Structure 1
Amino acid sequence: MPATPTDRFAELTAPASWQAVDVISDLHLQASEPDTFQAWLRYLQQPATLRADALFILGDLFEVWVGDDLLNNESAAASTGASGDHAFWRACAAALRAYSALAPVYFLPGNRDFLFGPAGLQACGMSGLADPTVLAFQGRRWLLSHGDELCLADTDYLRFRAMVREPAWQQAFLAQPLAQREAIARDLRAQSEARKRSTGHDPSLWADVDTEAARAWLHQTQADTLVHGHTHRPAQHDLGDGLQRLVLSDWDAGAQPPRAEVLRITAQGARRLTLLV
């Protein structure tokens, strides 16, 4: 597949005082999976001696996000037929606000929470991050992305992605009543689950990041490592020419064995921390 060059790389230079940063993605937080939520809370509430200097969330923090008014009590109360998860979303926001008072949190949207907007960022105490963004940290350049844009073989999804990222589509969708948006989201999730069942929920059968596209992004940004999520296939890939791709794990504390992993980046490089759940 051809590479996908872009001229919209953002860049963030870490303060010299930062010694370690954590990177996570694909927690897919939802009220119906309390084990994962509790594992995430334990991570956020860990002692200062174990905490990184900053946290980067590379998308799909939430299983679904249909608008920042999910955090608005009035909108939630008026949402006839709503999912009943609004208290859960507010608990997520409160946990993030508490953590962001201790360390900065950066959020880059994924394919499940691309409608997370400025009001949501403010409510959670997070700073928004463009996809993709170069993190200049400890003398190296790390390219951060959710990763879905580089899955070039998933042509149906990429068409859908292009449509829902259009401002006009988002404005029209967000203008609908909250309950209606939640109903649409439930239908889309049901379709997604049906597709997963057809492949046995096996991530190895899903479209993966295109190697040449990843190499093109790294060359453009003069970074040597792409860090991304989305594919649920944690691994380290050698891309040649000193370039590599680090894939984040998804989280599912209720699985056997449970999954809850953080990528910690320091001056020595990146290492995976498996959290006790």
Structure 2
Amino acid sequence: MPLPDAATVASDHPMPHILFISDLHLSPATPAIMQQFQRFLDSDVLKQADALYILGDLFDAWIGDDDPSPFAAQVREMLHEAGSHTNLYFQHGNRDFLLGEDFARAANMTLLPEEQVIQVADEPVLLLHGDQLCTDDRDYQQARKLFRSPEFQAQAMAMSIPKRIQKAAEIRQMSGEAKAVKSSD
């Protein structure tokens, strides 16, 4: 799917109707959030939109496109249906950096790079996940660089699914412990 810009959409609408979401942290443990997300995807608001940009952390943890769980299948199907009437774009966050082309294709989404500029009403808009802006947190930025590296991702994907689930839980726990001792600055 090509990225919509104001010039392309302007012929049909005075201004593109573009929606942005991030940090839903969907998981099987949060069914109320899943239900709200489903209602949003089924809503006229989304159906009338030209595009939905998902700016990372759609999932609390994404262990890979080969996740056979009913939860992964449900989200894929929900997005696929939404993508049949609205252009969907996905940008990785710090919780779903293993989401790949296979899931994106099956979910009717276009993957975006870490930074993407789109035009909205003749104004450039920079899209990125907010974790990139935590520049004073050197430890986090170092971990982020590691997690985004092709080598790390290949090693992660070589693990069994149960091992990836275990590692994701360990990383989330370490992250929570690290955040607890950091200042909000």
Normalising by structure 1, what TM-score? 0.60
**Structure 2 residue 137 is matched with structure 1 residue 137:** no
1:12–1:133: 8 Å Cα contact kept in structure 2?
A: no
Q: Report how far residue 172 of structure 1 moved.
A: 1.5
Residue aligning to 2:44:
47
**Structure 2 residue 85 is matched with structure 1 residue 88:** no
2:57–2:93: 8 Å Cα contact kept in structure 1?
A: yes
Residue aligning to 1:38:
35
Larger radius of gyration: 1
Q: Report how far residue 192 of structure 1 moved.
A: 2.4
Supply the AA of the counterpart residue of 1:45: D
1:12–1:134: 8 Å Cα contact kept in structure 2?
A: no
Q: Report how far residue 137 of structure 1 moved.
A: 2.3
Query: Which residues of structure 2 form unaligned runs of 5+?
Result: none
Residue aligning to 1:118:
101
**Structure 2 residue 111 is matched with structure 1 residue 128:** yes
Per the alignment, do residues 89 and 58 of structure 1 end up closer, same or farther by CA in structure 2, a change over 3 Å counting?
same
Helix, strand or coil at the partner of 2:32: helix
Helix, strand or coil at the partner of 2:89: strand
**Structure 2 residue 129 is matched with structure 1 residue 146:** yes
1:59–1:111: 8 Å Cα contact kept in structure 2?
A: yes
Query: Which residues of structure 1 form unaligned runs of 5+?
Result: 1-10, 71-75, 77-85, 200-204, 208-277
**Structure 2 residue 182 is matched with structure 1 residue 190:** no
Q: Distance in 1 between matches of 2:46 and 2:119?
A: 24
2:47–2:85: 8 Å Cα contact kept in structure 1?
A: no
Residue aligning to 1:98:
81
Query: How many residues of Structure 1 are paired with residues of Structure 2 in the alignment?
Result: 178
Identity of aligned residues (%): 34
Q: Distance in 2 between matches of 1:193 and 1:49?
A: 33
Per chain length, whose mean CA-contact separation is higher, i.e. which structure has more relative contact order (CA < 8 Å, sep 6+)?
Answer: 1
Residue aligning to 1:168:
151
Q: Distance in 2 between matches of 1:98 and 1:128?
A: 17
Residue aligning to 1:68:
65
Helix, strand or coil at the partner of 2:117: strand
Q: Report how far residue 51 of structure 1 moved.
A: 3.1
Q: Distance in 2 between matches of 1:25 and 1:148?
A: 12
Q: Decide which structure has greater helix share.
A: 2
Q: Distance in 1 between matches of 2:175 and 2:23?
A: 15
Per the alignment, do residues 53 and 193 of structure 1 end up closer, same or farther by CA in structure 2, a change over 3 Å counting?
same
- Within the candidate set 151, 176, 179, 2:162 is matched to 179
Per the alignment, do residues 58 and 173 of structure 1 end up closer, same or farther by CA in structure 2, a change over 3 Å counting?
same
Q: Distance in 2 between matches of 1:65 and 1:120?
A: 11
Cα RMSD of the aligned pairs, angstroms, is 2.0
Q: Decide which structure has greater strand share.
A: 1
